Chain A
Amino acid sequence: MTLLITVFAAVIATVLWYTRKNDNLGLGFLCFMFWGASIMWLVDAVFEYVELKEAYFTPALEDMINDTFLGLSVVALALVVWVVRLLITDPRGVVRRSLKNSAAR
């Protein structure tokens, strides 16, 4: 479930990056982060499948809920990292302008 949620997040981030004319929101970094994690969890899933065989596709309800919660938390964490990076790098100069205006008042 964590893998699925991360893959969906990666696809959505990539589509958003593709549809923007200029990537001045740093969406590229978000895409790389989600795709990197997706590939890593894919390998993890393959190893787990080799170990569990068919049982891999029929997880217990409790495990599924826990994995869903984890997947959503992972997406939230990645979004927080992306927003913090966006505010620090400030590619549109919004933060700098806002701070300058605050200082001028």
Chain B
Amino acid sequence: MACFTATVAEAVVVKVIEKVEEKKEIKAAEGGAKAEVSTHIPFSRKLKWLTSMLIGGSFLLAFEHVWHGEVVPWFPFLTAMNNPEDAAEMFSEIATVGVCMAALVTLVWVGMCIAADAIVKRAAGSGEVEA
């Protein structure tokens, strides 16, 4: 009904964190902090992977809801909001399906980050990474 709203909300929060982190990293680089380019993927870049998955996925999911007539271009935008019974069902769906979607995407992202760090570390150990 509107399960994608949970992932949209997470995407907004992660995007804000990503921008803050990016600013911190730029400041640290300007301040002369030791560059760890070859053995370390910046956290802001990893957060960008997560926002891309969340925003991209939510967008395509939102299209599916438009397709099924659950999202409309006029207020209140969600057809389930027209009567209290449907609204209650929608909120329940957001709390279950939506939260599970956001959690699984985040879990996959954590796995990706661990794998990416391991690959970069291994490449740095064998001298494959360019400085």
B residues less than 8 Å from A28 (CB atoms): 52
| Majority secondary structure, A binding face | helix
A residues less than 8 Å from B61 (CB atoms): 37, 40-41
Q: Mark A11-37, 1 if CB is under 8 A from B, else 0.
A: 000000000000000001100111111
A residues less than 8 Å from B97 (CB atoms): 43-44, 47
Tell me the count of chain A residues lying within 8 A, CB to CB, of chain B.
24
Asked if B105 and A40 sit within 8 Å, CB to CB, the answer is yes
Q: Mark B92-113, 1 if CB is under 8 A from A, else 0.
A: 0000110011001100100000
Asked if A33 and B52 sit within 8 Å, CB to CB, the answer is yes
| Majority secondary structure, B binding face | helix
B residues less than 8 Å from A32 (CB atoms): 49, 52-53, 56
CB distance from B69 to the nearest CB of A (A): 12
Give the interface residue-count category, chain B. 20 to 34
Chain A residues with CB under 8 Å of chain B are: 2, 6, 28-29, 32-44, 47, 70, 73-74, 77-78, 81
A-B contact pairs, 12 of them (CB 8 A): A28-B52, A32-B56, A33-B53, A36-B52, A36-B54, A37-B57, A37-B60, A39-B101, A40-B7, A42-B104, A43-B101, A77-B60
